[in-house]
């Protein structure tokens, strides 16, 4: 025991050669599945494309400014991606190499933290669960900062454990203080873990009054200043409309004033089991029996805080701060934006299984109870066969390019617009290109937009992403109208997306036949839309052609 922290997972706890091989196998599984998803090279999809276009279209210094398309990302992450692009080109592999490397390093970092928190068997179980967890696999091959957020959170946890074990000198205190700068530069959500760590260290100094307490106070003060600067930069890097949009878009992820306990229960369950309509990219672990995992989380939290309050507080602190942020409406909870919390929650769940097993079975063999958690992780992993191809637009555009004829035109549904703008520079089409505009006030406007190609004998209609907001199927409206006024000549979608409602697809229409055109028009076509106006949902990624004043006004006023 050093400075209030027990490091259980030292070399004396891992004498078994079998244990070492099992640990290496758990890490190897994580590397292989992440490499499989990354190497499959799925198409850049709408959320990634919005980040990619910011990186590709801007100079490095411009990445510190307010980003286009409603995006927010730490400048360190953006600059690392920009460096990768400058060195390796603008391919999907180059754009995703930063989150991929972060995902790989996170495996080792998670094991380090797990060995500091759990018994040997529990550390291996937790590492294998982390290796197989779908959100960590997918976001390690996704151009978003979620994977690097996970790495930074684990690194902060390791740093705090090391600090707690150290007797600080002037040099080591300076190192511990300065390490916060690159961490916050690369991950804005590091404010949660660093703030929690600072509080733990400050309280520990007050209670224990160590000989190096003034060095510890200096570290905490520096961290506090760095956190304040990061929060200030984060607020500046979002427009007023952007801040309001986040609050409205993630409304369910903010704590409601009424029914706060029920909200907290359902949100925590969703972290483990997913929402009622689960999606591979929702950030949930998608486990069965979520109530059991919540119970184990509570047991693990109580057990770790009772065992060593500093260790428990370092693990639980970021979670509690995130709940507080959701309660006061500054940061949502229970979404992929909270991926950085999942490793800490996994550790606490496994700790709960360990301690529960020691109470129920036997103190010596209780840690083996945590092995019973593995079937949940394995079952979920099998249910989402890799690789996963969301909105796989690249093969669709290649199909269009391979079958393109002189005089062809292409009309792009706005949901595919972000990715189309990325791929059109890599798969050029020599003809008329029309990109639709999001309009969730009057669906008839979509028919007027597609009428720009009315009368053309060969029109490729390209669609991707969701079918529209609030259950109104915009894509079906468009295809119904086009089937009425035109003749389908061809269609194609990537085989990997056979059953996805968000799939990328293209349909070739002949819109030149007079008899078909006479049947209907944009003004006469029947539309049944019982849903209210939601123009504000067109903000950000749904505006591939850039900001629209009417959309920003809708965000603020609708």
At 533, is the pLDDT very low, low, confident or very high (cuts 50, 70, 90)? confident
Residues ≥6 apart with Cβ < 8 Å to 158: 109, 112, 113, 116
Q: Which residue has the tokens 């956190």?
A: 227
Residues ≥6 apart with Cβ < 8 Å to 337: 146, 189, 250, 253, 283, 331
Neighbouring CB atoms inside 10 A of 393's CB total 33
Dihedral of CA 260/265/267/268: which sign? positive
Helices marked H in 393-545 — which ranges? 394-402, 417-423, 444-450, 474-485, 514-517
Maximal C-alpha separation, the chain: 91
Q: What is the mean pLDDT of the chain?
A: 91
Bigger pLDDT: 532 vs 13: 532
Mean of pLDDT values over 101-114? 98
Instruction: Read off the tokens for 227.
Output: 């956190």
Q: Are the C-beta atoms of residues 411 and 372 closer than 8 Å to each other?
A: no
pLDDT given at position 362: 67
- Residue 482's closest CA among 504, 437, 513? 513
Dist. CA 382–CA 348, nearest whole Å = 24
pLDDT given at position 497: 64
pLDDT given at position 278: 61
Dist. CA 484–CA 524, nearest whole Å = 12
In this model, does residue 346 exceed pLDDT 60?
A: yes
Question: For residue range 64-81, what is the model confidence (pLDDT) as tens digits?
Answer: 999 999 999 999 999 999
Mean of pLDDT values over 278-306? 91
Residue 175 CA to chain centroid, in angstroms? 30
In this model, does residue 87 exceed pLDDT 70?
A: yes
Instruction: Read off the tokens for 107.
Output: 């495996």
Bigger pLDDT: 550 vs 460: 460
Four-point Cα dihedral 543, 339, 467, 437, nearest 10: 0
Instruction: Read off the tokens for 208.
Output: 């224990």
* DSSP symbol at 501: T
- Residue 400's closest CA among 454, 460, 456, 457? 460
At 495, is the pLDDT very low, low, confident or very high (cuts 50, 70, 90)? confident
- Residue 315's closest CA among 344, 280, 289, 272? 344
Which of 81-85, 191-195, 205-209, 259-263 has the weakest average pLDDT?
205-209
Dihedral of CA 493/494/497/501: which sign? negative
Residue 50 CA to chain centroid, in angstroms? 14
Ramachandran angles phi, psi of 211, nearest 5°: -65, -30
Q: What one-character-per-residue DSSP string does 459-474 give?
A: EEEEE-S-S-STT--H
Question: For residue range 331-344, what is the model confidence (pLDDT) as tens digits?
Answer: 999 888 999 999 99
Question: For residue range 245-278, what is the model confidence (pLDDT) as tens digits?
Answer: 999 989 889 998 788 999 999 999 999 987 655 6
- Residue 522's closest CA among 403, 436, 407, 462? 436
Instruction: Read off the tokens for 38.
Output: 């990354």
Helices marked H in 237-259 — which ranges? 240-249
pLDDT given at position 463: 96
In this model, does residue 190 exceed pLDDT 90?
A: yes
- Residue 478's closest CA among 544, 515, 434, 513? 434
Question: For residue range 122-147, what is the model confidence (pLDDT) as tens digits?
Answer: 999 999 999 999 999 999 999 999 99
- Residue 99's closest CA among 140, 129, 63, 42? 140
Alpha-carbon distances of 253 from 147, 188, 282, 555, rounded to whole Å: 20, 19, 12, 18
Instruction: Read off the tokens for 531.
Output: 């849903």
Alpha-carbon distances of 350 from 46, 109, 118, 255, 297, rounded to whole Å: 35, 17, 8, 27, 8
Q: pLDDT over 70 for what percent of the chain?
A: 94
pLDDT given at position 15: 47
- Residue 53's closest CA among 445, 521, 421? 421
User: For the whole model, what pTM was predicted?
Assistant: 0.92
Mean of pLDDT values over 377-389? 93
Instruction: Read off the tokens for 494.
Output: 């990537």
At 366, is the pLDDT very low, low, confident or very high (cuts 50, 70, 90)? confident
In this model, does residue 57 exceed pLDDT 50?
A: yes
Dist. CA 104–CA 141, nearest whole Å = 10
Pairing of strands 487-493, 409-412: unpaired
In this model, does residue 7 exceed pLDDT 50?
A: no
């Amino acid at each position: 025991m050093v400075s209030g922290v027990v490091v259980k997972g030292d070399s004396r706890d891992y004498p078994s050669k079998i244990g070492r091989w099992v640990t290496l196998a758990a890490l190897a599984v994580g590397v292989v599945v992440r490499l499989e998803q990354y190497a499959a090279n799925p198409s850049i999809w709408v959320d990634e494309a919005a980040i990619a276009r910011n990186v590709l279209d801007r100079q490095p210094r411009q990445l510190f400014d307010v980003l286009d398309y409603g995006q927010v990302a730490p400048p360190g992450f953006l600059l690392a991606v920009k460096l990768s692009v400058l060195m390796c080109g603008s391919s999907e592999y180059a754009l995703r190499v930063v989150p991929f490397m972060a995902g790989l390093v996170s495996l080792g970092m998670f094991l380090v933290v797990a060995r500091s928190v759990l018994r040997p068997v529990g550390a291996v179980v937790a590492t294998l669960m982390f290796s197989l967890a779908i959100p960590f696999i997918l976001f390690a091959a996704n151009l978003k900062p979620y994977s690097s957020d996970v790495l930074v959170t684990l690194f902060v946890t390791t740093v705090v454990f090391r600090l707690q074990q150290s007797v600080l000198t002037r040099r080591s205190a300076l190192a511990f203080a300065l390490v916060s700068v690159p961490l916050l530069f690369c991950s804005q959500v590091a404010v949660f873990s660093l703030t929690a760590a600072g509080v733990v260290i400050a309280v520990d100094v007050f209670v224990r009054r160590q000989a190096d307490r003034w060095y510890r106070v200096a570290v905490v003060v520096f961290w506090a200043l760095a956190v304040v600067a990061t929060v200030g930069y984060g607020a500046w890097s979002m427009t007023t409309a952007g801040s309001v949009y986040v609050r409205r878009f993630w409304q369910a992820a903010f704590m409601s004033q009424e029914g706060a306990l029920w909200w907290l229960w359902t949100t925590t369950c969703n972290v483990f089991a997913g929402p009622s309509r689960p999606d591979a990219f929702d950030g949930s672990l998608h486990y069965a029996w979520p109530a059991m995992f919540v119970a184990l989380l509570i047991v693990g939290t109580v057990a770790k805080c009772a065992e060593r309050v500093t260790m428990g507080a370092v693990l639980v602190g970021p979670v509690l701060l995130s709940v507080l942020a959701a309660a006061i409406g500054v940061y949502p909870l229970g979404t992929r934006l909270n991926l950085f919390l999942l490793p800490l929650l996994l550790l606490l769940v496994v700790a709960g299984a360990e301690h529960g097993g020691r109470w129920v079975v036997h103190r010596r063999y209780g840690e083996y109870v945590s092995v019973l958690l593995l079937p949940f992780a394995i079952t979920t992993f099998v249910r989402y066969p890799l690789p996963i191809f969301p909105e796989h637009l690249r093969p669709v555009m290649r199909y269009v390019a391979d079958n393109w004829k002189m005089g062809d035109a292409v009309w792009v549904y706005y949901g595919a617009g972000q990715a189309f703008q990325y791929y059109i520079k890599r798969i050029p089409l020599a003809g008329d290109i029309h990109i639709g505009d999001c309009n969730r006030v009057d669906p008839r406007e979509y028919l007027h937009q597609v009428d720009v190609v009315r009368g053309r004998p060969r029109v490729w209609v390209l669609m991707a992403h969701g079918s529209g907001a609030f259950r109104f199927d915009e894509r079906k409206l468009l295809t119904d109208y086009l089937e009425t006024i035109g003749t389908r000549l061809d269609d194609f979608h990537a085989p990997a997306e056979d059953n996805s409602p968000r799939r990328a697809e293209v349909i070739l229409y002949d819109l030149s036949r007079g008899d078909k055109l006479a049947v209907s028009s944009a003004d006469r076509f029947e539309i049944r839309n019982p849903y209210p106006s939601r123009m504000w949902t067109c903000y950000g990624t749904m505006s591939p052609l850039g900001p629209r004043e009417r959309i920003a006004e809708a965000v603020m006023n609708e």
